[in-house]
């Protein structure tokens, strides 16, 4: 059906083995032979058969990136960064000067072969089942690496299942990298300093003079949610404000609508609060919208803060105070780790710093 290695070999008048060697480039081949083979490849528009290659070599060039919500820029940025690392390593050889005499519609996508991996994004939608399912699918494909991004679901059974899958993947040669979730065995981990960042954020508010601070948290069973909330509470406790906290916390999803609704609920519980901290920037946007709809000004009446520092946060109106996570850098690093291009951090775990970005949406309380 399609053109195979053998076809190329025949046209180039060499053996299939030689063609294979030229294409993988990891074996000495005479320059003249090499040129002849490359020409045949071009003429025939040969494209390697991935499955066959993977079967024979017992490795594939697939890299899976699992995300909780593909529609959320938080994940989009990380995933995009991971993918950006997948290109060919340095200046590749091959390809060559021969600009085909070409018929209509010359190929353009030259690289018949290269060091490139196929980084693919898998959207779990936050569903544990789908997460496991994708892991199985990737295991089936004998993926070269798997990158799990974002907070993990804390349900014990699920955590155990993921850990088990990760071990099995690692055992069969698939590199497992975690980006933004707590470490597990057999995986290289890039954790985010969610707790520390959250603590510093609330301390910032405290320093400004706020005492009644509402908190809009994410889904209760996610590590990210828990850590950020814990950081918030730490700061509150240190300031001797621990007791009211529970009352001023509302859980929701990591989206704008939840922030809107939660704000209404918070206002109902305590009309006198002077600040609201959101578990992420998207929620914070909803918080701002709700506040405005209630005729409250930001930050004059109520200060608002988010988390992540997504692109839109800096130029929101007013500019949002938040905690910056270097998502792009983290993604790049996760990609390198997945390819084995970067040495493992000591202990297999590295923490990504979170930086407070104090902007216009927070100010001293009115009173």
Least distance CB 140 / DNA (angstroms): 9
Tokens for 39, please give them. 């020409």
Q: Which listed residue (26, 32, 99, 104) binds a second copy by CB under 8 A?
A: 104
Helix (H, G, I), strand (E, B) or coil at 314: helix
| Complex with DNA: residue 142 or 199, whichever CB lies closer | 142
Q: Which listed residue (45, 52, 237, 340) binds DNA by CB under 7 A?
A: 52
Say how far apart CA 250 and CA 162 lie, in whole Å.
28
CA dihedral 96, 97, 101, 103 (to 10 degrees): 50
Angle between helices 281-293 and 256-269 (to 10 degrees): 50
Which of DNA, a second copy, none interacts with 27 (beta carbon under 5 to 8 A by kind)? Answer: DNA
**Cβ-proximal residues to 4 (8 Å cutoff; 6+ apart), any chain:** 46, 49
Q: Which listed residue (139, 206, 244, 356) binds a second copy by CB under 8 A?
A: 139
Of 30-69, which residues contact a second copy (CB under 8 A)?
45, 47-55, 58, 60-62, 64, 69
Q: Which listed residue (10, 25, 29, 253) binds DNA by CB under 7 A?
A: 29
Q: Does 105 bind a second copy (CB under 8 A)?
A: yes
| Complex with DNA: residue 12 or 276, whichever CB lies closer | 12
- Binding part of the chain for a second copy, among 123-131, 222-230, 232-240, 298-306 by CB under 8 A, reads 123-131
Say how far apart CA 194 and CA 324 lie, in whole Å.
10
- Binding part of the chain for a second copy, among 6-14, 106-114, 273-281, 358-366 by CB under 8 A, reads 106-114
Q: Does 165 bind a second copy (CB under 8 A)?
A: yes
Q: Which listed residue (28, 91, 108, 240) binds a second copy by CB under 8 A?
A: 108
| Complex with DNA: residue 32 or 99, whichever CB lies closer | 32
Structural contact between residues 319 and 67, judged by C-beta atoms closer than 8 angstroms: no
Tokens for 278, please give them. 């959101």
Least distance CB 106 / a second copy (angstroms): 7
Contacts 24+ apart (CB under 8 A), 132-136: 132/158, 132/161, 132/162, 132/165, 134/64, 134/66, 135/66, 135/162, 135/165, 135/166, 135/169, 136/165
Count of H helices and E strands in the chain? 13, 12
Structural contact between residues 315 and 250, judged by C-beta atoms closer than 8 angstroms: no
Q: Does 20 bind DNA (CB under 7 A)?
A: yes
List contacts with DNA (CB under 7 A): 1-2, 4-6, 13-18, 20-21, 23-24, 26-30, 32-34, 46, 48-49, 52-53, 55-58
């Amino acid at each position: 059906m399609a053109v195979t290695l053998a076809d190329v070999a025949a046209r180039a008048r060499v053996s299939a083995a030689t063609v294979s060697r030229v294409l993988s480039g990891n074996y000495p081949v005479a320059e003249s032979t090499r040129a002849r083979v490359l020409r045949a490849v071009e003429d025939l528009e040969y494209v390697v058969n991935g499955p066959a290659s993977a079967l024979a070599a017992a490795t594939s060039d697939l890299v899976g990136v699992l995300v909780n919500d593909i529609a959320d820029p938080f994940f989009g940025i990380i995933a995009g960064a991971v993918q950006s690392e997948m290109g060919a390593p340095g200046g590749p050889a091959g390809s060559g000067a021969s600009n085909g005499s070409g018929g209509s519609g010359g190929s353009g996508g030259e690289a018949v072969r290269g060091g490139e991996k196929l980084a693919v994004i898998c959207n779990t939608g936050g569903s544990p089942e789908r997460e496991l399912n994708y892991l199985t699918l990737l295991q089936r494909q004998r993926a070269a690496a798997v990158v799990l991004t974002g907070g993990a679901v804390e349900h014990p059974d699920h955590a155990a299942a993921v850990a088990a899958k990760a071990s099995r993947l690692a055992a069969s040669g698939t590199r497992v990298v975690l980006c933004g979730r707590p470490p597990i065995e057999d995986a290289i981990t890039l954790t985010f300093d969610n707790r520390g960042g959250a603590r510093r954020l609330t301390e910032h508010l405290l320093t400004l003079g706020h005492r009644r601070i509402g908190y809009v948290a994410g889904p209760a069973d996610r590590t990210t949610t828990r850590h950020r909330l814990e950081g918030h509470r730490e700061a509150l406790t240190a300031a001797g404000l621990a007791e009211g906290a529970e009352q001023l916390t509302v859980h929701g999803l990591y989206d704008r609508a939840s922030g809107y609704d939660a704000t209404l609920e918070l206002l109902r519980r305590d009309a006198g609060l002077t600040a609201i901290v959101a578990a992420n920037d998207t929620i914070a946007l909803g918080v701002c919208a709700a506040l405005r709809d209630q005729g409250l000004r930001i930050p004059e009446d109520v200060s608002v803060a988010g988390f992540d520092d997504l692109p839109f946060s800096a130029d929101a109106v007013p500019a949002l105070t938040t905690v910056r996570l270097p998502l792009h850098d983290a993604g790049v690093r996760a990609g390198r780790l997945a390819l084995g291009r970067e040495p493992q951090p000591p202990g297999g775990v590295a923490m990504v710093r979170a930086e407070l970005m104090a902007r216009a949406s927070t100010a001293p309380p009115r009173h």
